[in-house]
């Protein structure tokens, strides 16, 4: 079974441009409690390097591109996010890394929970130990 779970985010387009709507419990499987975005990431800088115990996320590259690496402790998969019309669902207990940000990358993240440091697993060896139990 694939770790990568992509969802289409329908775009409404006309002569003025395009609009993508993301609705909790409609096209994403959780209530949104936190929204943030990553931008201005310097060349050669990678981000993430953690998993969450409970939190789920939807990641959308609203501008530019980045490479996502996902790991469930048994397998690893990579996916390029490069369109605002596709979202990546990242479940709990998934290690995530973000690499190769384009200069114009804006990565929007919708989270199922408020920020809680105790929900993070920041040590890969701890993550692997928990994932393989």
- Say what the pLDDT of residue 1 is: 67
Tell whether 90 is covered by a domain.
Answer: yes
Question: By the 8 A CB rule, do 44 and 21 touch?
Answer: no
Residues pairing with 28 in the sheet:
24
Mean pLDDT of all residues in 10-26: 89
Minimum mean pLDDT range among 1-5, 83-87, 114-118: 1-5
Question: By the 8 A CB rule, do 57 and 111 touch?
Answer: yes
Identified catalytic residue from 50, 52, 99, 114: 50
- Say what the pLDDT of residue 23 is: 86
pLDDT of 133 above 80? no
52 is catalytic: no
- Say what the pLDDT of residue 3 is: 85
Question: By the 8 A CB rule, do 104 and 64 touch?
Answer: yes
For strands 86-90 and 5-8, give the pairing.
antiparallel
Tell whether 112 is covered by a domain.
Answer: yes
Mean pLDDT of all residues in 63-72: 97
- Say what the pLDDT of residue 71 is: 97
Cα separation, 113 vs 108, whole angstroms: 15
Tell whether 102 is covered by a domain.
Answer: yes
Cα separation, 72 vs 114, whole angstroms: 23
Domains: count for the chain: 1
Mean pLDDT of all residues in 20-44: 92
Tell whether 124 is covered by a domain.
Answer: yes
pLDDT of 97 above 80? yes
Tell whether 70 is covered by a domain.
Answer: yes
pTM (two decimals): 0.92
Tell whether 16 is covered by a domain.
Answer: no
Domain that holds residue 119: 5-10+24-131
Cβ-defined contacts of 7-14 (< 8 Å, 24+): 7/58, 7/86, 7/87, 7/89, 8/85, 8/86, 9/60, 9/84, 9/85, 9/86, 9/87, 10/85, 11/84, 11/85
CATH number at residue 60: 2.60.120.10
- Say what the pLDDT of residue 131 is: 87
Minimum mean pLDDT range among 11-15, 25-29, 80-84, 125-129: 25-29
């Amino acid at each position: 079974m694939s770790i990568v779970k992509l969802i289409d985010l329908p775009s409404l387009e006309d002569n003025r441009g395009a609009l993508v709507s993301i609705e909790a419990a409609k096209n994403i499987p959780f209530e949104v409690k936190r929204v943030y975005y990553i931008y201005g990431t310097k060349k050669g800088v990678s981000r993430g390097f953690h998993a969450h115990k409970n939190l789920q996320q939807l990641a959308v590259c609203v501008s530019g591109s980045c490479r996502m690496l996902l790991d469930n402790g048994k397998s690893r998969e990579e996916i390029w996010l490069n369109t605002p019309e596709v979202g990546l669902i990242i479940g709990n207990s998934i290690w995530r890394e973000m690499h190769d940000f384009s200069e114009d990358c804006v990565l929007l993240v919708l989270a199922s929970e408020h920020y809680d440091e105790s929900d993070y697993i920041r040590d890969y060896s701890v993550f692997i130990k928990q994932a393989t139990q």
